[in-house]
Structure 1
Amino acid sequence: MEKTAYRKGVLAILAELLQEPTDDTVGELPAMVKYLHEAFAALEYPVPLLAYSDWPKLAGGREALALAYNQSFVFPPETRVVPVESIYRQWTSDSSAQVPFAKEKGYLMSDAALHMKALYESYGLELPPAFSATPDHLGLELEFAVFLLENEAAERQAVFWREHLDWVDELADEAEKNGIPAFYRQVLKVIAAFLRADRENYEQVK
């Protein structure tokens, strides 16, 4: 299997794990772990097996994983994390913006979100209604990365990786600091490690 196919497969799995879990999600975890191990080895990406080999055990059943999902990303607000790019970006770079939080982080629908929305529209892609306020949700961005791998040249891919996929280390660090449930803490660590390694594909691409 060529490396691009492995990259698409990994991105698709990681995007799925950021959705609300289903019975299928839980049932597919052993196969996901096997595929990730094969893919990281083929890609020569430094993502250790121990970072994800326990996922089936940590997940438990669907109800347990659904609870972990809610505790990780929904409630309580004091410890949850929000896997949305805008939260980790300055809200806008527009110097004429009059809102008091224009230069701050932590708000939805930043410039990054508006750019993601414009990208979907430019490719004729429909934004799921549930994500109307978060078009820059990490799960959607990973799915869009798969789309670019399938439909665009490396130059266009490189721009997206640089502009929209360089913030996840901060998300993973916050998840660790906040002590979200172990399953999703590990998922975010693996996503961050994969994206760090994957960006090297584009270091020389202009």
Structure 2
Amino acid sequence: MNKQEYRIGLYVLFAEMLKEPTEEFAQELPDMVQYCHEAFAALGYNIPLAAYQGWGRWADDVQALKDAYLRAFVFPPDRRLVPVESIYRQWTFDETAEVPIAKEKGYLMSDAALHMLELYKQYGLEIPREFRSMPDHLCLELEFAAFLLEKESPTRQAVYIREHLDWVGDLCQDAFSLEIPQFYREVVYVISLFLEHELQAVAEAS
């Protein structure tokens, strides 16, 4: 497997980890740990095994994993993590916008979301119904990155990664400050480390 294939595989894997877990997903966690270890080594990404080696212990308890998912991303509303780009961006940079939230953060369907909608349209991609109000959810953005790695030039791939995946460090900080369940705190942490390396790699290549 070459480096590009490992990168694609990691984007897809991390997207799956942000979806509601299934029994099949839980059973595959030990294999995911091994894959991450191999992929990070092949890519030269210095991400410690200690950050994710514990994922495998959830393999036999899908109900605990589902409970952790709900507490991390669903309720209570004031303590959940919202892995959506718009939440971390200024709502719009349109100077003519007169709505009160124009220059604020924390709202859905920002300029970032509208740009993602345009990208999906450009490539003929459909958004799953559950993500219609948040087309810039991190799991969709990770899947789209994998799509671009397969279909597009390195230049377009780099532009997308720079424009849409540079906010996950802030998401990671929130995962720790909100004290979401350990499994998903670790998942967001490892994703953020991976994307730091990705952002550095595209910066060095440009």
Q: Is the 8 A contact 1:59 1:183 kept in 2?
A: no
Residue in 2 that maps onto 1:90: 90
Instruction: Please give the residue correspondences for 1:190-205 in structure 2 after superposition, counting only pairs within 5 Å.
Output: 190-205=190-205
- TM-score (norm: length of structure 2): 0.97
Q: CA RMSD in A?
A: 1.0
Partner secondary structure for residue 175 of structure 1: helix
Instruction: Please give the residue correspondences for 1:75-86 in structure 2 after superposition, counting only pairs within 5 Å.
Output: 75-86=75-86
For residue 201 of structure 1, report the CA deviation from its aligned partner: 2.2
Q: Is the 8 A contact 1:117 1:135 kept in 2?
A: yes
Q: Distance in 2 between matches of 1:83 and 1:59?
A: 24
Q: Is the 8 A contact 1:120 1:126 kept in 2?
A: yes
Q: Is the 8 A contact 1:83 1:171 kept in 2?
A: yes
Q: Distance in 2 between matches of 1:60 and 1:96?
A: 54
Q: Is the 8 A contact 2:90 2:110 kept in 1?
A: yes
Q: Is the 8 A contact 1:155 1:205 kept in 2?
A: no
Q: Is the 8 A contact 1:154 1:205 kept in 2?
A: no
For residue 63 of structure 1, report the CA deviation from its aligned partner: 1.1
Q: Distance in 1 between matches of 2:59 and 2:107?
A: 30
Partner secondary structure for residue 45 of structure 2: coil
Q: Is the 8 A contact 2:11 2:143 kept in 1?
A: yes
Q: Distance in 2 between matches of 1:172 and 1:94?
A: 28
Residue in 1 that maps onto 2:134: 134
Q: Distance in 2 between matches of 1:94 and 1:60?
A: 50
Partner secondary structure for residue 47 of structure 2: coil
Partner secondary structure for residue 189 of structure 2: helix
Residue in 1 that maps onto 2:117: 117
Query: Structure 2: 5+ residue runs without aligned partners?
Result: none
Q: Distance in 2 between matches of 1:31 and 1:60?
A: 13
Partner secondary structure for residue 81 of structure 2: coil
Q: Distance in 1 between matches of 2:29 and 2:205?
A: 34
* CA deviation vs aligned residue, 1:98-117 (integer Å, no higher than 9, x gap): 11011000000000000000
Identity, in percent, stands at: 57
Q: Which stretches of structure 1, 4 residues or longer, exceed 6 Å deviation after superposition?
A: none
Residue in 1 that maps onto 2:170: 170
For residue 2 of structure 1, report the CA deviation from its aligned partner: 0.8
Residue in 1 that maps onto 2:33: 33
Residue in 2 that maps onto 1:179: 179
Residue in 2 that maps onto 1:65: 65
Residue in 2 that maps onto 1:104: 104
Q: Is the 8 A contact 1:58 1:182 kept in 2?
A: no
Q: Is the 8 A contact 2:26 2:58 kept in 1?
A: no
Residue in 2 that maps onto 1:146: 146
